[in-house]
Amino acid sequence: MYMKLYDYYRTALAGQTLPAAFIDLDNLALNLEQLRCRAAGLPIRLVTKSVRSLSIIRLALAAGSFMRGLLCYSPVEAAWLSSEGFDDIVVAYPSVEPADIRAVAVQLRSGRSITLMVDSADQVDLLDALAGKEKVVFPVAIDLDMSSNFPGLYFGVHRSPVREAATAVALAAEISRRSGVRLDGLMGYEGQIAGLMDAEPGRRLKNRIICHLKHRSIREVTQRRQRVVEALAEAGYRLRFVNGGGTGSFESTSGDTSVTELAAGSGLYAPTLFDHYATFKALPAAGFALPITRLPMPGIATCSGGGYIASGPAGKDRLPQPWLPSGCSLIEHEAAGEVQTPVRYPPDVGFRTGDLVLFRHAKSGELCERFNHLLLIKDGRVVDRVTTYRGDGKNFF
Ligand SMILES: Cc1ncc(COP(=O)(O)O)c(C=O)c1O
């Protein structure tokens, strides 16, 4: 079966210049459909950092009305996407760069909807000052911290200081006191649920601990988000949206009645860090092919390229993984190299110079920082070649 899959992609990619990154459009469509089903009727805001290609963003939004709006990672990216025709954009992280925020103001003046993220009065002040000069009112959303601070264990990410209803209402009051900003929404992203695998093979104990922690955390943070939304409503603040979750948390986030929309991006490409969740299984829809340029000894093939390490805590799980043909593995002391990546392969594979090895990246959008183009594969052949952000000359961090 895996040899068949390898042959499928090898045939599809025949004649292409390698290394090359590709998207399997058939699997991408199935992954989108799976997200739609898992969302239980809630709309999904597309997390662009996990996609990083204009064409794929367009394609995802065209999948149906369940895909609604974009969750961007920088104001300049949001302004660019807006100038490309996208609307209903939320920037998920605060920015303190006046030039970047001014780019958003230009788009707001042309009638687009871009919402900026805040979690403190300082950020609100900065936006308010710029709003006066730019003659706009910035729509803002409050970023609610969704981490669980268990005794002796901080389970979550370090982002927003807004943790409770009182702080959120106080920040909403700060926003309402300034004429250059207006409260538009709330975002509460539970990264420790959405982005942490809980069903890794051979890790029974770890999985059990993570499942237990997730279970406890879900109960706590769901109540927190609900309390905050209720308190804002009671204080008279109307929210256009309450955004929550990510690819790995649809089942629990959609059960929170205060949430009006989900966020997801990684569920489209399904990189290796999303392979083992108890609640869903997505299909690998993104990969890259490296050419074998040399055969240093029997059982080892050396490919050119490949050193595309994912961000986050440095560890083996951040390495790209040889995918097809199955049974290939990285070599411990070389791993994925800057210019070359040696791969150990099983005897039945019989590689020759000029063959290819298929890999998958650990994270979703970061693959696109390494390639100018994505080859789009459908029904066993390359049907198009589209640019990544990088291919468009865009780099936002
Ligand atoms: C604010 C926010 N929402 C949602 C997500 C989930 O994105 P994905 O579905 O790509 O994991 C992320 C990922 O880091 C995020 O930072």
**The pair of three-digit structure tokens given for residue 188, joined into one six-digit string:** 């509460």
The DSSP H or E segment spanning 7 is: helix 2-13
**The pair of three-digit structure tokens given for residue 301, joined into one six-digit string:** 């093939």
**The pair of three-digit structure tokens given for residue 116, joined into one six-digit string:** 């900026």
Predicted confidence at residue 345, as pLDDT, reads 98
Q: What residues form DSSP beta bridges with 352? A: none
| Mutation choice for ligand 1 from 70, 71, 367, CB with most ligand atoms inside 8 A | 71
Is the CB–ligand 1 distance for residue 264 below 6 Å? yes
Angle between helices 165-176 and 204-234 (to 10 degrees): 50
Distance (Å, rounded) from C-alpha 392 to C-alpha 162?
A: 36
Burial (CB < 10 A; 0-12, 13-18, 19+), residue 329, is exposed
Is the CB–ligand 1 distance for residue 47 below 6 Å? yes
Is the CB–ligand 1 distance for residue 267 below 6 Å? yes
Q: What is the pLDDT along the chain (397 residues), one digit of tens a residue?
A: 566 999 999 999 999 999 999 999 999 999 999 999 999 999 999 999 999 999 999 999 999 999 999 999 999 999 999 999 999 999 999 999 999 999 999 999 999 999 999 999 999 999 999 999 999 999 999 999 999 999 999 999 999 999 999 999 999 999 999 999 999 999 999 999 999 999 999 999 999 999 999 999 999 999 999 999 999 999 999 999 999 999 999 999 999 999 999 999 999 999 999 999 999 999 999 999 999 999 999 999 999 999 999 999 999 999 999 999 999 999 999 999 999 999 999 999 999 999 999 999 999 999 999 999 999 999 999 999 999 999 999 999 8
For 109, residues 6+ apart whose C-beta sits below 8 A from its C-beta are: 134, 135, 136
Ligand 1 atom nearest the C-alpha of 264 is: 9
Predicted confidence at residue 192, as pLDDT, reads 98
Taking CA atoms only, the protein residue closest to ligand 1 atom 9 is 264
Predicted confidence at residue 174, as pLDDT, reads 98
Taking CA atoms only, the protein residue closest to ligand 1 atom 14 is 191
Distance (Å, rounded) from C-alpha 194 to C-alpha 197?
A: 8
Query: How close is the Cα of 46 to the center of ligand 1, in Å?
Result: 9
Q: Any idea what the Cα angle at residue 308 is, between residues 371 and 335, rounded to 5°? A: 145
Taking CA atoms only, the protein residue closest to ligand 1 atom 2 is 189
For residue 194, the 8-state DSSP code is H
Ligand 1 atom nearest the C-alpha of 267 is: 9
Q: What residues form DSSP beta bridges with 378? A: 381
Domains of the chain: 25-269 (3.20.20.10), 286-386 (2.40.37.20)
Predicted confidence at residue 158, as pLDDT, reads 97
Is the CB–ligand 1 distance for residue 265 below 6 Å? yes
Provide the whole-model pTM: 0.98
Query: How close is the Cα of 194 to the center of ligand 1, in Å?
Result: 8
The DSSP H or E segment spanning 185 is: strand 181-188
Angle between helices 121-134 and 98-109 (to 10 degrees): 50
**The pair of three-digit structure tokens given for residue 327, joined into one six-digit string:** 């049974």
Ligand 1 atom nearest the C-alpha of 245 is: 4
Longest dimension (CA), the chain: 72
User: Whose CA is closest to 336, among 269, 271, 288?
Assistant: 288
| Mutation choice for ligand 1 from 50, 56, 57, CB with most ligand atoms inside 8 A | 50
Taking CA atoms only, the protein residue closest to ligand 1 atom 4 is 246
Query: How close is the Cα of 246 to the center of ligand 1, in Å?
Result: 5
Residues 190, 244: contact at Cβ < 8 Å? Answer: yes
What values do phi and psi take at 149, rounded to 5? -100, 80
E strands present in 280-328: 286-297, 300-304, 321-324
Ligand 1 atom nearest the C-alpha of 73 is: 16
Ligand 1 atom nearest the C-alpha of 50 is: 10
Query: How close is the Cα of 71 to the center of ligand 1, in Å?
Result: 8
Is the CB–ligand 1 distance for residue 268 below 6 Å? no
Burial (CB < 10 A; 0-12, 13-18, 19+), residue 366, is buried
Query: How close is the Cα of 93 to the center of ligand 1, in Å?
Result: 11
| Mutation choice for ligand 1 from 46, 47, 252, 367, CB with most ligand atoms inside 8 A | 47
Burial (CB < 10 A; 0-12, 13-18, 19+), residue 98, is middle
